[in-house]
Amino acid sequence: MAFLELSGIQKRFGETSAVIDFNLAAERGEFVSFLGPSGCGKTTTLRMIAGFEQPTAGTVAVDGKDITRRAPNQRNVGMVFQSYALFPNMTVAGNVGFGLRVRKQPKDRVAKRVTELLELIHLPDKADRYPYQLSGGQQQRVALARALAIEPQVLLLDEPLSALDAKIRVILRNEIRAIQRSLGITTVYVTHDQEEALSLSDRIVVMSEGRIEQIGSPFEVYNFPATSFVASFVGTLNVMTARVAGAAEGRLVMDGQPIRAARPVTIAPDGANVTIAFRPEMLSMGEAGANRLRGTVQDVTFLGSIVRIRVHLASGATVVSVDTFNDPNLTVPEAGAEVTISFPPEAVLVLEAPPAATAEDLIAEA
Amino acid sequence: MNRLSRLAWWLVFIVGFLYFFLPLLGTFAFSMRSQPLFSAYAVVTDDPQFAETLIYSFIVGVLTIIVSIALIVPTAYWVRLRLPRLRPYIEFITLLPFVIPPIILVFGLLRTYSGGPLPLAGSDFGSNVLLVAAYTVLSFPYMYRAVDTGLRAIDVQSLTEASQSLGAGWLRILVQVIIPNLRVSLLSGAFLTLAIVVGEFTIATFLARPAFGPYISLLGGNKAYEPAAVSLISFGLTWIAMGLISLFGRGARTRVQVVGAR
Amino acid sequence: MTAASSLTAPGAPAARPGRRFGFAWIGVVPFVLFAAGFLVLPTAYLLTGSLQDTHGQVTLQNYARLSEPNLASAYAASIEISLVTAVGGGIFGFLLAYAVIAGGLPRFLRNALMTFCGVASNFAGVPLALAFTFTLGASGLLTPLIKSLGITLNIYSKTALELAYMYFQFPLMVLIIAPAIDGLRRDWREAAENMGATSFQYWRYVAFPILLPSLLGTTILLFGNAFGAQATAYELSGGTINIVTIAITRQIRGDVVNDPGVGYALAMGMVVIMAVSIGAYSLLQRRAERWRR
């Protein structure tokens, strides 16, 4: 049996459904991320685990015990808040030791545990500082130490890094992961940052509009997105529409040009429209791959280690992005140049039929 | 929130509500003892002194607002723009009226300007000047705070530089750019000033001015039911001023509503 | 926000000192002159007067005479009234503000209360005193009720004055403390609960200590507010109650056979007390704001 189990969770606020049929079973020590845009229900789900919200239906169980109706202060679940929520009237030591003090633990034990935790977060000399005397990154570490002090069964982190600078974000996220691994604590991490989720997690739960779109390892979610939402939300993706020409052989026609997918198309018959996707980094300039598309360079953007070339396909309005690694010897095509881009059949992901309504709309417009 | 504690909070609210309304009710009931009904109000409003003192206090209030704005706006603007180092000192001066209550202020004004090189207290005109000056001083704390928070909300530096680059001079910048952007702050400061000045007693009495506050007090000593009527009218005026503040101040970041002792 | 505007901190345009600083101070001259003439000079007059005897010699005698029974008791009464109404108004005002903000009362009551507090805190002086006379005085509305409860309330007494002062004291508390209560973040309560704290423990260790500087500071402000009040007391007691502002009133009127130096000392003693309380208030307010960053 899984350590943290959410079964059939629903949450409605009045008329609106915030979370719809959420099921997750996380193993002991697993690091799970909830990834999605704001308002997708990820924070609401987290707050239901902490007990700040009551699910309209469904159960939350930790280590086999149903805690759905338990008050937040009876749950032994540690939480790190987006705003840190450090108590401004207490020192760092006071904040970290708070959970132990309200549990009426002896003073010397509290002090010992506080020292341990401050060592763990690399702030042993800041015990007597007040939160307002610390940087944002330091405050976040203290918030983490405070949540860990009570030795919670589950650690919850609600967008803990969103208020920090890009550099500190990367450093801290590595630290969080290292601490999590060393303690072996089951962790749920809420974020809207796909890079964070990909780099930290054992598994990612991608959410949209209250529903789970996909649960999978970072590798699966990135390389084999289950839906077009996942495909577009996780990483940059060329998402476009193609017509199925030969389902059995994986033949498609996109923008009037034939392409091939590695696998047969099973979700739609010949002649139907499907959504396909391929990642910019899977494409290259030139004629190296089995699939070739002709087009005109629209613009070129330097993104540091990567150069992104946007190509206007020859026969239509479709624009495809191509990423290549930056290299001083690279010859970048100019805007307006005629180019060929190519990619292997493995790069083509056939996701789903476009919604019927959209197709009808197109007919109606025409 | 359990039922018991919510009940307790309701109880607190009801006590506060009663404390607020019972004195008003008492005053109204008293004013109704004169026969026929509402005759106390009729007598008061027919009294020429009522209108005279009210108009006098209103004019003094308007003059106070003008002087106060003319002093505070350029100063607060200039301090923000060019003299940020003086800010704590200017702020300190504007808070002094909290330390020096009206009774002390008028005491000092009377002694300073009764004789010497500038015997203002000796003449009617001079006393009027002193009255407006004293009220202006009383308005400093909230006027300055209102203007300063208003200035903080707009980017004074950029607005000034934009106006200058378009060829505007200082006066034009202040009148056509800064002041319109402070409208909300200035209006709430102005109505607060009116609420305080109309009905102010201590300073007006000692300067022997024919103002509304001393008039109510005089009435209170001589008549039975009319003072109750005037008190309620005065309360209504305060309510109107505060209502206008919250009407115009809607959406403003801070509503300045707090003044010193009376 | 665009990249350009995010370069400067929002709301705090960077000052550019130095440029034409030589003459820039001229801009504040009218204000400073006005304040000097109508605020500082009169106070300075009282101060120098308090340090001189009738022959213009420097002396501290005037201050020594503040310990005379009549004057000392005026200070004692003023302090007592201010203390009682500040603490009473402070506690009740806090409870009232908390009731409408976090006590589960309907939202519209909060707006109604804020408006009424704005009015009530500014409804002081003569009309307020009259209203209390009509309610609790000899033929007041509530007088029969109070008598039937076996309580006698003299409208000229300290108690009556305290009741009247409360009318503007607790609304002032509500106005000033409401933002502080609003400033208690939901996160703090949730974090405390998350770590196993009960509601009481949250109040005891988190909310109350955070509010304490604001509560103390505002109570001190209320103290000063009552201490400096004159019109309400004068009208309610007919000028008979012996508190500092009324004692000064008598000095200005020349009702007392006395040398003026004592009157000045009386006034300066009051200024000192007001200065201490306002100073303590702004100190505590700053402390409260420091935490709130």
pLDDT at B97 over 60: yes
Nearest CA in chain B to C126: B217
- Asked whether residue C272 is domain-assigned, the answer is yes
Please give the average per-residue pLDDT across C33-52, as a whole number.
Answer: 94
- Cross-strand pairs, C52: C58
- Find the length of chain C: 293
pLDDT at A363 over 50: no
Whether residue A55 contacts residue A16, with contact meaning beta carbons closer than 8 Å, is answered with no
Whether residue A96 contacts residue A111, with contact meaning beta carbons closer than 8 Å, is answered with no
Q: Write down the pLDDT at residue C195.
A: 94
pLDDT at C16 over 50: no
Chain B residue numbers touching C176 (CB-CB < 8 A) = 258
* pLDDT, chain C, mean: 86
Q: Residue B49's closest CA among B220, B210, B234? A: B210
Whether residue A239 contacts residue A228, with contact meaning beta carbons closer than 8 Å, is answered with yes
Q: Write down the pLDDT at residue C5.
A: 34
Give the span between the Cα atoms of A267 and A250, in whole angstroms: 11
Q: Write down the pLDDT at residue C123.
A: 83
Q: Write down the pLDDT at residue B56.
A: 96
pLDDT at B235 over 80: yes
Give the span between the Cα atoms of C225 and C239, in whole angstroms: 19
Give the span between the Cα atoms of C29 and C38, in whole angstroms: 14
pLDDT at B5 over 80: yes
Whether residue A4 contacts residue A186, with contact meaning beta carbons closer than 8 Å, is answered with yes
Lowest mean pLDDT across A68-72, B184-188, C17-21:
C17-21
Confidence of residue B260 (pLDDT cuts 50, 70, 90): low
User: Secondary structure of chain A: what % helix, strand, coil (to 5)?
Assistant: 30, 35, 35
Residue A29 tokens, joined: 């020590």
Q: Write down the pLDDT at residue B253.
A: 45
Chain A residue numbers touching C290 (CB-CB < 8 A) = 132
pLDDT at B108 over 70: yes
Whether residue C165 contacts residue C131, with contact meaning beta carbons closer than 8 Å, is answered with no
pLDDT at B9 over 80: yes
Residue, of A18 and C138, whose pLDDT is higher: A18
Give the span between the Cα atoms of B19 and C131, in whole angstroms: 12
- Asked whether residue C44 is domain-assigned, the answer is no
User: With touching defined as 3+ CB pairs under 8 A, do chains B and C touch?
Assistant: yes
Q: Residue C163's closest CA among C138, C126, C136? A: C136
Give the span between the Cα atoms of C215 and C208, in whole angstroms: 9
Give the span between the Cα atoms of A275 and A352, in whole angstroms: 5
Give the span between the Cα atoms of B248 and C152, in whole angstroms: 45
Residue A107 tokens, joined: 């003073």
Q: Is C31 in contact with B71 (Cβ distance < 8 A)? A: yes
Q: Write down the pLDDT at residue A275.
A: 84
- Determine contact: C293 vs chain A, CB below 8 A: yes
Chain B residue numbers touching C122 (CB-CB < 8 A) = 192, 195-196, 238, 241-242, 257, 259
Whether residue A87 contacts residue C206, with contact meaning beta carbons closer than 8 Å, is answered with yes
Q: Is A52 in contact with C198 (Cβ distance < 8 A)? A: no
- Determine contact: C22 vs chain A, CB below 8 A: no
Whether residue C205 contacts residue C124, with contact meaning beta carbons closer than 8 Å, is answered with no
Count of CB atoms situated within 10 Å of the CB of A20? 15
Is-cis flag, bond preceding B36, omega within 30?
yes
Q: Write down the pLDDT at residue C152.
A: 82
pLDDT at A20 over 90: yes
Whether residue A239 contacts residue A69, with contact meaning beta carbons closer than 8 Å, is answered with no
Q: Write down the pLDDT at residue B122.
A: 86
Residue B129 tokens, joined: 């000047």
Which parts of B82-199 fold into alpha helices (H)?
87-99, 102-114, 124-153, 156-165, 170-172, 179-181, 183-197
Name the minimum distance, in Å, from the CA of A102 to any CA of chain C.
Answer: 6
pLDDT at C164 over 90: yes
Q: Write down the pLDDT at residue C4.
A: 36
CA C292 vs CA A85, C176, C181, C210, C211: distances in Å: 11, 15, 12, 9, 10
CA B33 vs CA A191, B38, B42, C146, C193: distances in Å: 70, 9, 13, 20, 58
pLDDT tens, A122-151? 999 999 999 999 999 999 999 999 999 999
pLDDT at C20 over 90: no
Confidence of residue A356 (pLDDT cuts 50, 70, 90): very low
Helix (H) or strand (E) holding A290: none
Q: Name the 3-class secondary structure at A156.
A: strand
Q: Write down the pLDDT at residue A94.
A: 95
Q: Write down the pLDDT at residue B36.
A: 82
- Cross-strand pairs, A254: A257
pLDDT at C44 over 50: yes
pLDDT at C3 over 70: no
Please report the sign of the dihedral spanned by the C-alpha atoms of residue C235, residue C237, residue C240, residue C245: negative
Residue, of A309 and B253, whose pLDDT is higher: A309
- Asked whether residue C19 is domain-assigned, the answer is no
Q: Write down the pLDDT at residue C13.
A: 40
Confidence of residue B58 (pLDDT cuts 50, 70, 90): very high
Phi, psi of A210 (to 5 degrees): 85, -5
Strand order in the sheet with A291-302: A284-285, A338-343, A291-302, A306-313, A319-325
- Find the length of chain B: 262
pLDDT tens, A337-347? 888 888 888 88
Q: Residue A34's closest CA among A165, A212, A175? A: A212
CATH of the domain at C179: 1.10.3720.10
Q: What is the pTM of this model?
A: 0.81
pLDDT at C15 over 70: no
The structural domain count of chain C equals 1
Chain B residues 164-193 with CB within 8 Å of chain C: 192
Nearest to C291 among A89, A98, A102 (CB): A89
Q: Can you list the pairs that C66-75 forms with residues at least 24 positions away whose Cβ atoms lie under 8 Å?
A: C66/C262, C66/C265, C66/C266, C66/C269, C70/C242, C70/C247, C71/C247, C71/C262, C71/C266, C73/C242, C74/C242, C74/C243, C74/C244, C74/C246, C74/C247, C74/C266, C75/C244, C75/C269
Please give the average per-residue pLDDT across A201-228, as a whole number.
Answer: 92
Give the span between the Cα atoms of B135 and B147, in whole angstroms: 17
Residue A43 tokens, joined: 């924070």
Residue, of C85 and B167, whose pLDDT is higher: C85
Nearest to C198 among A73, A90, A132 (CB): A73
Rg (CA), chain B: 22
- Determine contact: A81 vs chain C, CB below 8 A: yes
Please give the average per-residue pLDDT across B76-105, as a whole number.
Answer: 91
* pLDDT, chain A, mean: 88
ipTM: 0.89
Q: Name the 3-class secondary structure at C162.
A: helix
Q: Write down the pLDDT at residue C197.
A: 93
Burial string for A93-103 (b: 16+ CB within 10 Å, else e) reads: bbbbbbbbbbe
Give the span between the Cα atoms of C165 and A80, in whole angstroms: 47
Q: Write down the pLDDT at residue A354.
A: 57
Give the span between the Cα atoms of B217 and B98, in whole angstroms: 25
Q: Write down the pLDDT at residue C293.
A: 54
Q: Residue A206's closest CA among A223, A187, A226, A186? A: A226
- Cross-strand pairs, A258: A253
- Asked whether residue C13 is domain-assigned, the answer is no
User: With touching defined as 3+ CB pairs under 8 A, do chains A and B touch?
Assistant: no
pLDDT tens, C68-127? 998 999 999 999 999 999 999 999 999 999 999 888 888 888 888 888 888 888 888 899
Q: Write down the pLDDT at residue A316.
A: 61
- Asked whether residue C56 is domain-assigned, the answer is no
Q: Write down the pLDDT at residue A66.
A: 94
- Asked whether residue C25 is domain-assigned, the answer is no
Which parts of chain C fold into alpha helices (H)?
21-24, 29-35, 41-50, 61-64, 69-102, 107-122, 126-136, 143-148, 158-182, 186-194, 199-202, 208-227, 231-237, 244-253, 260-292
- Determine contact: C16 vs chain B, CB below 8 A: yes
- Determine contact: C187 vs chain A, CB below 8 A: yes
**Chains touching chain C at 3 or more Cβ pairs under 8 angstroms?**
A, B
Give the span between the Cα atoms of B30 and B7, in whole angstroms: 33
pLDDT tens, B211-223? 999 999 999 888 8
Residue C128: CA count within 13 A, CB half-sphere: 30
- Asked whether residue C192 is domain-assigned, the answer is yes
Residue B128 tokens, joined: 């009027």
Residue, of A184 and C139, whose pLDDT is higher: A184
Q: Which domain holds residue C151?
A: 65-291
**Amino acid type, C292:** R
Which parts of chain A fold into alpha helices (H)?
42-50, 92-102, 107-120, 136-149, 166-183, 194-200, 218-223, 228-233, 356-365
Q: Write down the pLDDT at residue A191.
A: 95
Confidence of residue C9 (pLDDT cuts 50, 70, 90): very low
Q: Residue A264's closest CA among A278, A246, A277? A: A246
- Determine contact: A104 vs chain C, CB below 8 A: no
Cβ contacts from A onto C, under 8 A:
78
Burial class for B171, CB neighbours closer than 10 Å (0-12, 13-18, 19+): exposed
Q: Write down the pLDDT at residue B262.
A: 58
Percentage of chain B lying above the pLDDT 70 cut: 94
- Determine contact: A150 vs chain C, CB below 8 A: yes
pLDDT at A121 over 60: yes
The answer as to CATH 3.90.650.10 being correct for domain B52-249 is no
Give the span between the Cα atoms of A307 and A321, in whole angstroms: 10
Residue, of A328 and B40, whose pLDDT is higher: B40
Angle at C206 between CA C200 and CA C212, to 5 degrees: 105
